């Protein structure tokens, strides 16, 4: 059998790989754009492209002349309009390619220092004390950390609850957590500019959304009006999260395995929550 006999099969495999990769890219892009403000903008761009094709096909010289410049400038317009979505897409792909090995620290109330966060948030929620915690992942938050009061301290339940006490000078603003340490407190964050955000969400929630739109950080918000806990990731909001749900979301987002200590940690957290309520 000659070498040329393998060429059709190789071409077929190459074509299948080509189609598969294109399908995956299109699927991921559509998944990222779903439910965002980019969708109606994309529809408008597609309509302009169809109108340009119609003007060429039907020899509409004036319309073609006008739309030709629009088509030339379209790539620059896409970069400007979709800069947030493009940044999120790059972060999404980067997160899938990175597999950092981080030595996990142990906390007082469970198998990880993140149990300290869950415990503090649970207590703050039971007392209706407003709080905003931002946890850095792959994209650095150094610019925001430098704008706040730098602490570089171990994560602890007592410290987090004390920081957000309305009687302390650091309660206003966000706490930024980096490399399983409290990097800074009283950090002010950019507010989201998404017009579709509910008006029921205040400045603290808008800041939590804004920081997750431009980075891959996650935010946890405690409402001082209702005591409800909100989880924000990638600009998407999940409200009214309970203790078990918060711990699962947090551990999954930070790549911490939910081991056999989960029940014990949740039991300790619920006991402290009951004591705080009384």
Could you state, in order of their start, the residue ranges of all structural domains in the chain? Answer: 3-97, 114-277
Which pLDDT value is given to residue 108? 43
Other C-beta atoms closer than 10 Å to the C-beta of 87 total 15
Closest CA to 119 of 220, 252, 235: 220
pLDDT-based confidence at residue 5 (cuts at 50, 70, 90): low
Which pLDDT value is given to residue 110? 44
Residue 200 above 80 pLDDT?
no
CATH architecture of 114-277: 3-Layer(aba) Sandwich (3.40)
Residue 103 above 50 pLDDT?
no
Residue 140 above 60 pLDDT?
yes
pLDDT-based confidence at residue 84 (cuts at 50, 70, 90): low
Instruction: State the Cα–Cα distance between residues 200 and 262, nearest whole angstrom.
Output: 34
Residue 19 above 60 pLDDT?
yes
Residue 252 above 60 pLDDT?
yes
The mean predicted confidence, pLDDT, of the chain is 77
Closest CA to 196 of 36, 29, 30: 36
User: Which pTM value belongs to this model?
Assistant: 0.61
Tokens of 24: 């995956």
């Amino acid at each position: 059998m000659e070498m040329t006999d393998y060429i059709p099969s190789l071409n077929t495999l190459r074509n299948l790989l080509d189609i598969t990769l294109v399908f995956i890219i299109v699927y991921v892009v559509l998944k990222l754009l779903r439910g965002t403000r980019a969708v109606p903008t994309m529809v408008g761009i597609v309509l302009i492209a169809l109108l340009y094709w119609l003007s060429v096909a039907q020899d509409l010289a004036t319309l073609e002349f006008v739309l030709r410049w629009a088509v030339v400038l379209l790539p620059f317009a896409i970069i400007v309009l979709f800069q947030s979505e493009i940044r999120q897409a790059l972060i999404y792909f980067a997160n899938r390619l990175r597999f950092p090995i981080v030595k996990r620290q142990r906390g007082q109330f469970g198998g990880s220092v993140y149990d300290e966060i869950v415990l503090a948030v649970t207590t703050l929620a039971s007392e209706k004390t407003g709080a905003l915690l931002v946890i850095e992942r792959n994209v650095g938050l150094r610019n925001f950390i430098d704008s706040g009061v730098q602490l570089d301290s171990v994560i602890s339940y007592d410290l987090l609850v004390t920081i957000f006490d309305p009687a302390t000078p650091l309660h206003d603003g966000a706490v930024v957590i980096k490399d399983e340490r409290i990097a800074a407190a009283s950090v002010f964050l950019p507010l989201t500019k998404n017009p579709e955000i509910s008006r029921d969400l205040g400045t603290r929630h808008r800041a939590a959304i804004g920081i997750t739109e431009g980075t891959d950080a996650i935010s946890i918000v405690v409402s001082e009006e209702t005591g409800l806990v909100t989880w924000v990731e990638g600009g998407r909001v999940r409200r009214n999260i309970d203790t078990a749900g918060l711990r699962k979301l947090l551990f999954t987002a930070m790549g911490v395995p939910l081991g056999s200590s989960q029940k014990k940690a949740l039991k300790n957290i619920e006991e402290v929550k009951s004591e705080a309520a009384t």
